[in-house]
């Protein structure tokens, strides 16, 4: 299975909850009682369609071909005030960071961010009340009961936004995949051409004193990504959930470092202005191509107001300094 085929971050599913069971209109009868009162039980609730967070999942591949999810119907009530059985719930397990939207209106219904968090997406119909609820002083033997409520059916979109401490932001070939492969055990596909990374890759980066943080390599930005060009919206939404953004600009860029950084920043702002509030760090990659004099010159041109560092993933230079910088920003972001 290729890298692209096993990462699914968008599914559209029709969810149908169960009908509620009908209440019973039974009247009590036994050997000693020929005209007993009402003893019809309530109908069972119809099954819900429930969404549940699972920290072990990182893709929605298991839901890709599941277009219809149908919960069970509730059973009818019985005699002797016996309630009907509740309909079978359908539970959709999803990765953390999943947003659930109404497919027709695009309205966000809820987001799942915690392991084990459960939310009812499509509630089952309520069971009908049995006839004993309707007994009154003037109507001692009601011979009617409530029918159960119908279930609901709607189309929903489940969309994943990767949850990570650090999101790597940069043009194709900025060295994002190489950095992730060096600082973590992740094994992203790496090659010297644009868009090698077609899906986000996650890696756990070990830090001092057995601490760690999660880094996400996100497919490269191109100019116009915020309008949907290139991989556009498909990857920009993954950046929304990262605590700290690590901008990566290669030392051999044809523009200045500042120009490239500002183009990246502009694409994020065009897509979602709230991303501008996230802490940012700038890493100038491929520093092994620079001598000290050239590095000193380039430092003068760096954008102001953003912590920056020169690194080389291939030569493994300054990577500890980069981790220190990121760790400081992550902890500022979570305070």
Domain with CATH 2.70.210.12 in the chain: 1-160
Delimit the CATH 3.40.50.300 region(s) of the chain.
164-334
CATH of 1-160, one of 1.20.1630.10, 2.70.210.12, 3.10.20.30, 3.40.30.10: 2.70.210.12
Q: Are 197 and 176 in contact (CB under 8 A)?
A: yes
Model confidence at 208, in pLDDT bands (50, 70, 90)? confident
Residues 2, 4, 9, 15, Cα dihedral to 10°: -60
Q: What is the per-residue pLDDT across 39-73, written as a single tens digit (0 to 9) for each?
A: 999 999 999 999 999 988 878 889 988 999 999 99
Length of the chain: 335
With beta carbons less than 8 A apart as the criterion, state whether 113 and 98 touch: no
Could you tell me which residue, 70 or 288, shows the higher pLDDT? 70
Task: Please list the alpha-helical segments (H only) found in 134-243.
Answer: 176-183, 232-239
- Assess contact for 249 and 260: CB atoms under 8 A: yes
The residue-averaged pLDDT of 282-307 equals 86
**Mean pLDDT of all residues in 66-89:** 96
Class of domain 164-334: alpha beta
Question: What is the tens place of the pLDDT at every residue in 121-178?
Answer: 999 999 999 999 999 998 888 999 999 999 999 999 999 877 678 988 888 777 888 8
Which secondary structure element, helix H or strand E, spans residue 298, and what is its range?
helix 292-300
pLDDT (0 to 100) of residue 193:
40
Q: CA-CA distance, 279 to 47, in Å (whole number)? A: 44
| Average pLDDT of the residues of the chain | 84
């Amino acid at each position: 299975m290729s890298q692209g085929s096993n990462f699914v971050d968008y599914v559209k599913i029709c969810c149908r909850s169960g009908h509620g069971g009908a209440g019973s209109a039974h009247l009590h009868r036994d050997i000693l009682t020929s005209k007993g009162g009402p003893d019809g039980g309530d109908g069972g609730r119809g099954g819900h369609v429930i969404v549940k967070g699972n920290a072990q999942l990182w893709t929605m591949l298991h839901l890709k071909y599941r277009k219809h999810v149908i919960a069970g119907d509730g059973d009818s009530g019985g005699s002797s005030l016996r309630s009907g059985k509740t309909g079978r719930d359908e539970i959709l397990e999803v990765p953390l960071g999943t947003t659930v939207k109404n497919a027709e209106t695009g309205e966000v219904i809820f987001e799942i961010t915690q392991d084990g968090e459960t939310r009812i997406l499509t509630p089952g119909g309520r069971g009908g009340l049995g006839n004993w609820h309707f007994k009154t002083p003037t109507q001692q033997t009601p011979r009617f009961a409530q029918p159960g409520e119908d279930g609901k059916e709607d189309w929903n979109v489940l969309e994943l936004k990767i949850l990570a401490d650090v999101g790597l932001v940069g043009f194709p070939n900025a060295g994002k995949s190489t950095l992730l492969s060096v600082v973590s055990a992740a094994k992203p596909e790496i090659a010297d051409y644009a868009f090698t990374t077609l899906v986000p890759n996650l890696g756990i980066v070990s830090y001092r004193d057995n601490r760690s943080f999660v880094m996400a390599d996100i497919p490269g930005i191109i100019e116009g990504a915020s309008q949907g060009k290139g991989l556009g919206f498909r990857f920009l939404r993954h950046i929304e959930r990262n605590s700290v953004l690590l901008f990566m600009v290669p030392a051999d860029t044809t523009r200045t470092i500042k120009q490239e950084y500002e183009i990246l920043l502009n694409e994020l702002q065009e897509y979602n202005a709230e991303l501008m509030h996230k802490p940012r760090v700038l890493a100038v990659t491929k520093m092994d191509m620079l001598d000290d004099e050239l590095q000193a010159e380039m430092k003068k041109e760096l954008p102001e107001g953003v912590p920056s560092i020169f690194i080389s993933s291939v030569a493994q230079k300054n990577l500890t300094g980069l981790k220190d910088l990121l760790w400081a920003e992550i902890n500022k972001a979570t305070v």
